[in-house]
Amino acid sequence: MTIPTEPIGSIPRPPSLVQALEDRGRGRGDDAALQAAQEEAVKDTIARFEATGSPVITDGEQLKPSFATYPVAGVTTLVPEGVVIPFADGHTRTLPSLSEGPFRYATFAESYVRQAKKHTDLPVKQPVIAPSALSLLYPAGGVEGYPREAFLADLADQAETDIRSSLEAGATSVQLDFTEGRLAVKLDPSKGLLDQFVALNNEVLDRFSDSERARIGVHTCPGGDQDSTHSLDVDYAELLPSLFRLHVGAFYLQLASEPDPGRVLEVVRSHLRPGQRVFVGVIDPIDPVVETPEQVRDRVLEAARYLPAEQLGTCDDCGFAPFADDTSTSRDIAFAKIAARVEGTRLAAEVLGG
């Protein structure tokens, strides 16, 4: 038998790209130098992905400033003071805030698909930010002349275009990044915010056919950044029942870094429906130690005790560098971990098939 295995998305940028981004941000570089560094990074990332034996690849998000803000990079109707996301180690990330309407994406992910497909014949997976995350851009005090209802309608339209255009550009699958799911429970233990997030995402997902939704998945994790997380202290069981209400064909779940994976798998088993596939995280991007293929194999076999093998897949817990300036993990370590995931998944498939 074969167990599918897929990356989540981001790969640490090479030093040349990190430097080019820093230079451009400080007004020292130019667009041509940055574009050249980005193109080389994409080409190298895809070549290294192929060398791991991964049957599905991404561009490593080398062209994104971050997994969350790529659609609005360069948008002039935003101000920098928005929602602040605190991480366990004390550092924070701040989302921008909308200052006027209407809301429009400046960049759609289909451009990343087209760039990646220039360099590979392998299936390309495209991560996109979930509309629920971008809903946090609307300020609590409102926007004059642009009510929240109008913003959410525009956001849903833009998110649909982001997903649909990626599929039309040739992405084998599209993954909604929903790291704010667990964070929503932390911000609002009543789960009212989480319910709003699920409803908004489903409003967009319901615009797709059953066959299209079979190619759409959702990823959740406790928000890895600079070797820290923002919501690992939230009980997974508080999120999972709501997560499985999302109208998608695949779920990509952080699991390798979870202290009690068996308990999580019990909850997953009770909510998994026919026709859905669960990709369990078998690689911890925050842990600097590279997993062995045998460790990965054993994690897969543990998951297979709870979930039907035909509905099982493997993935990394999270992207390795969701923000472009995150250099906490090296590219060499990231690709070594991916290679271990690929080989370990193959070993587990041999055991389960034999």
Mean pLDDT of 246-273: 97
CA distances from 351 to 128, 174, 301, 345 (A): 34, 30, 8, 10
Q: Do 94 and 81 touch, CB atoms closer than 8 A?
A: yes
CATH number at residue 19: 3.20.20.210
Q: What is the mean pLDDT of residues 244-250?
A: 98
pLDDT(226) > 90: no
Average pLDDT, the chain: 95
Residue 26 reports pLDDT greater than 80 = no
Least confident of 190-199, 220-229, 237-246, 255-264: 220-229
Whether residue 215 is predicted with pLDDT greater than 80 in this model: the reply is yes
Task: Give mean pLDDT, residues 327-349.
Answer: 97
Indicate whether this model's pTM tops 0.85: yes
The pLDDT, as a whole number, for residue 227 is 82
The band of 218, judged by pLDDT with boundaries at 50, 70 and 90, is very high
The predicted-structure confidence for 273-305, as pLDDT tens digits, reads as follows 999 999 999 999 999 999 999 999 999 999 999
Q: What is the CA radius of gyration of the chain?
A: 19
pLDDT, position 1: 87
pLDDT level of residue 161 (50, 70, 90 thresholds): very high
Coil/strand/helix, residue 13: coil
Residue with more model confidence, 87 or 156: 156
The percent of residues in the chain predicted with pLDDT above 90, rounded, is 85
Q: What is the mean pLDDT of residues 26-38?
A: 84
Q: Which domain holds residue 154?
A: 5-353
Binning pLDDT at 50, 70 and 90, where does residue 43 land?
A: very high
Mean predicted confidence (pLDDT) in 47-61 = 97
The dihedral formed by the CA atoms of 308, 219, 13 and 72, expressed in degrees to the nearest 10:
160
pLDDT of residue 7: 98
pLDDT at 27 over 80: no
Q: Which of 47-51, 73-77, 296-300 has the lowest mean pLDDT?
A: 73-77
What was the pLDDT predicted at 223?
A: 85
Query: Distances in Å between the alpha carbon of 24 and those of 41, 139, 261, 302, 325?
Result: 16, 28, 43, 47, 13
Residue 313's SS3 state is strand
pLDDT of residue 75: 94
Q: In the prediction, which pLDDT does 321 show?
A: 95
Number of domains in the chain: 1
Residue 197: Cβ within 10 Å count = 25
Q: Which residues contact 257 (CB under 8 A, 6 or more apart)?
A: 222, 232, 281, 284, 286, 287, 317
